[in-house]
A and B are shown apart, each in its own frame.
Chain A
Amino acid sequence: MTPILSISDATKRYNTPDGNVITALDNVSLVVEQNEFVTLLGPSGCGKTTLLRTISGFEDLETGSIQIDGSTVTHLPAHKRPVNTVFQKYALFPHMSISKNVAYSLEVSGVSKSQITTRVGKMLELVGLEGFENRKVNQLSGGQQQRVALARSLIAQPKILLLDEPLSALDKNLRHKMQQELKTLQEEIGIAFVFVTHDQEEALTMSDRIVVLSDGKIQQLGTPEDIYRRPENEFVARFVGEGNLFDGEVTQSTTKGASVTLTTGQKTVVSQSGLKKGDKVKLLARPEDVLIGKSSNTKDITFNGTVDHVNFIGAEYQILAKSKDGTSIKATFRPDVEQRDQIAGVGSDIRLYVPKEALHVITKEKVI
């Protein structure tokens, strides 16, 4: 099957008023398959919106090309592209009723009145807004406006729906609800979504694949598990989720894995192949992989120190511990009923370890 979207070597530069040049997109290549939910994730200013706007046709590329469903659209104006956008602030037309807003794309393309009425009715039903037809935009709550924006861009049956941080204006509970609804909706109507967010949790829960961007470059492209468990570089490891990074050096390497000596002097083994003796590496351990107690395997990373900080966040406890030589480690626990009273208090001694299987080797800092 032809991919629904294929971007190759896209580069986009902006001239700032004070004479600088900003490279907002730097050689970005990306393929989105039919029915895929792809999320663009990255810190503020990394080029997410720019990438989305080049797909929708509001920005011209300097170099590179874009294909939608097999046909090249690189120089097609926005109104001729078979994609629709849900804007961050919704951009609903304030002078039109809800049904007029939703009907807009059908009306400008000359669909018959009776068809419009039935399709608008169906669409409003799909997003759960029956009975709101005659209201005006300012008579709706944020979440309802969000749904109108969705309905308005879905009614023309675009090949791709582009969403620029559509949930960022909603409060936390509503955001979680809308995340679920969006995901369900996407599976129901079966078109590709390209979704922008700078919220990593949102990206992890919703996406089939995640594109991590920084400074206009793709840092990693993979499934949520790839991104979280197997980050390709330090930037991704630090940007997505919390983590502990241990510095070390490869002392021996085989096809089955490698031995690594940490700067603390501890020796451990990892299963990654392709490492070379003398390589400087970082070992990533997520906080939930840090366990309390004494390890039975000498190759596990062990940590003795005192509790510096305890955060209770409902289901779990976050602990920050410091050792005598000043290194610190983050760990999270979900204690069961009997253990609850035994959580170490601040200042008490604690013994932690990371099973060697949980370690992930990182060799690069960042794609530059």
Chain B
Amino acid sequence: MASLETNERRRRVILLGLLTPPTIFLAIFFLAPLAIMVIYSWLEPGLYGGVIWNFYDLNYGRILGWADSKYEKFDLVYLIIFLKSVRLALTTVFISLIICYPAAFWISRMSEGKKNLFLFLITLPFFVSLILRLFAWVLILRPTGFLNQALLGLGIITEPLHIIFTDVAVIIGMTYIFIPFMFLPLYASIEKLDLSLMEASADLGATQFQTFRRVIFPLTLPGIIGGSIIVFIPALGNFIVPSVLGGAKVMMIGNLIEQQFLSARNWPFGSALGMIVMASVLLLLIYYVKIMAREDQMTSAPAVKEVS
């Protein structure tokens, strides 16, 4: 008994020793900037940049509606930009899901060598700078660009399409850069799918659609949700794609925050905007975790009781 206890204590000491360095690292480099953001969002902006150390709730008031127009004005435009960003991010998630789901199926059925080749090809864009790739899309999408030239040449259109600097261009760009993030978690769950389950389903009289709805979809759902979250979060806060492909016409919440920090030099307001994006993402994640936990409870046994 005594030796068991000392063993336990030794284990704890070792664990503590191992966990301390990463904890300190995370605290300094991850939590500290976050804390600065949180504090700044409740401080008064200085007249020429910088902050005044007063408690000040009107950064949030400007966005959410309790600012009197004495110092700060409430403007609905911030919420509209936020909601538009949500819409663009969701569209990006949806389109990349539609593209990646069948592609992942297709690739998972290939021979081992081909599979690896395709997985490599999917990660290939990461080897080239993001900015460069986005400017390539400018060349493709602009009125005199590749796409319009091709369509005009084929006689499908008579006037060049105005895609560049629209929501469509931003969605195309975001879908393009986030496809690998959607693909990999989807592929991981589809690859694991046991083919004999589909045969069993057909054997039991299910049509292909029923097999999809009752077997394939539920078994790949974790991959779908995982991929969607991994794409949605960076898409929501993205500012590079809208600034390159959306020009001055499309503004997402990321651009607004960037503007506040870099050109308007209003760090408190920028921080408040950032906090709101973060809070909504957190709420989404908490909701997801809750749903998953409930689903687990529903499908697993009401606890197999062990007889002791």
* Interface positions of A from 98 to 154, Cβ below 8 Å from B: 104-105, 107-109, 134-136, 139, 152-153
Contact across chains for A91 and B197 when beta carbons are under 8 A apart:
yes
Contact across chains for A105 and B301 when beta carbons are under 8 A apart:
no
* Interface positions of A from 41 to 97, Cβ below 8 Å from B: 56-58, 77-80, 83-85, 87, 89, 91-97
Contact across chains for A84 and B204 when beta carbons are under 8 A apart:
yes
| Other-chain contact of B300, A58, A83, A87, A136 (Cβ < 8 Å) | A136
Of B69-77, B101-109, B214-222, the one with at least 4 CB within 8 A of chain A? B214-222
Q: Which residues of A contact B301 (CB under 8 A)?
A: 97, 134-136, 139
Of B131-139, B163-171, B205-213, B261-269, the one with at least 4 CB within 8 A of chain A? B205-213
Point out which of B200, B202, B206, B302 has the most chain A C-beta atoms below 10 A from its C-beta: B200
B299 at the interface (CB under 8 A from A): yes
Contact across chains for B196 and A95 when beta carbons are under 8 A apart:
no
Q: Which residues of A contact B304 (CB under 8 A)?
A: 135, 139
Complex Cα spacing A56 to B203, Å: 7
Contact across chains for A79 and B196 when beta carbons are under 8 A apart:
no
Q: Which residues of A contact B203 (CB under 8 A)?
A: 56, 58, 78-79, 83-85, 153
| Other-chain contact of A104, B194, B204, B207, B219 (Cβ < 8 Å) | B204
Contact across chains for A79 and B199 when beta carbons are under 8 A apart:
no
Contact across chains for A153 and B299 when beta carbons are under 8 A apart:
no
B255 at the interface (CB under 8 A from A): no
Q: Which residues of A contact B218 (CB under 8 A)?
A: 95
Q: Which residues of B contact A78 (CB under 8 A)?
A: 199, 202-203
Complex Cα spacing A109 to B199, Å: 16
**Beta-carbon nearest neighbor of A107 in chain B:** B214
Complex Cα spacing A350 to B196, Å: 55
Q: Which residues of A contact B219 (CB under 8 A)?
A: 94-95
Contact across chains for A156 and B204 when beta carbons are under 8 A apart:
yes
Q: Which residues of A contact B206 (CB under 8 A)?
A: 79, 104-105, 108
Q: Which residues of B contact A134 (CB under 8 A)?
A: 301-302
B91 at the interface (CB under 8 A from A): no
**Beta-carbon nearest neighbor of B196 in chain A:** A91
Number of A-B contacts (CB under 8 A): 76
Contact across chains for A93 and B215 when beta carbons are under 8 A apart:
yes
Q: Which residues of B contact A156 (CB under 8 A)?
A: 204-205
B243 at the interface (CB under 8 A from A): no
Complex Cα spacing A108 to B207, Å: 8
**Beta-carbon nearest neighbor of B215 in chain A:** A93
Question: How near does chain A come to B146, taking the closest CB pair, in angstroms?
Answer: 39
Q: Which residues of B contact A95 (CB under 8 A)?
A: 218-219, 299
Question: How near does chain B come to A69, taking the closest CB pair, in angstroms?
Answer: 16
| Other-chain contact of A79, B194, B207, B214 (Cβ < 8 Å) | B207
B201 at the interface (CB under 8 A from A): yes
Q: Which residues of A contact B210 (CB under 8 A)?
A: 108
Complex Cα spacing A81 to B196, Å: 17
Complex Cα spacing A177 to B207, Å: 36
Complex Cα spacing A80 to B202, Å: 9
Question: How near does chain A come to B306, taking the closest CB pair, in angstroms?
Answer: 11
**Beta-carbon nearest neighbor of B206 in chain A:** A108
**Beta-carbon nearest neighbor of A83 in chain B:** B203
| Other-chain contact of A136, B197, B204, B205, B299 (Cβ < 8 Å) | B299
Question: How near does chain A come to B294, taking the closest CB pair, in angstroms?
Answer: 14
* Interface positions of B from 236 to 263, Cβ below 8 Å from A: none
**A interface residues with partner B (beta carbon < 8 Å):** 17, 56-58, 77-80, 83-85, 87, 89, 91-97, 104-105, 107-109, 134-136, 139, 152-153, 156
Question: Would you mind naming 24 contact pairs between A and B with Cβ atoms under 8 Å apart?
Answer: A56-B203, A78-B202, A79-B202, A79-B203, A79-B204, A79-B205, A84-B204, A87-B199, A89-B196, A91-B194, A93-B200, A93-B215, A94-B219, A104-B201, A104-B206, A108-B201, A108-B204, A134-B302, A135-B304, A136-B300, A136-B301, A139-B300, A139-B304, A153-B204
> Can you add 15 more A-B contacts, CB < 8 Å, to A92-B200, A97-B301?
A57-B202, A78-B199, A85-B203, A89-B196, A93-B200, A95-B218, A104-B206, A107-B214, A108-B206, A108-B207, A108-B210, A135-B301, A135-B304, A136-B299, A156-B205
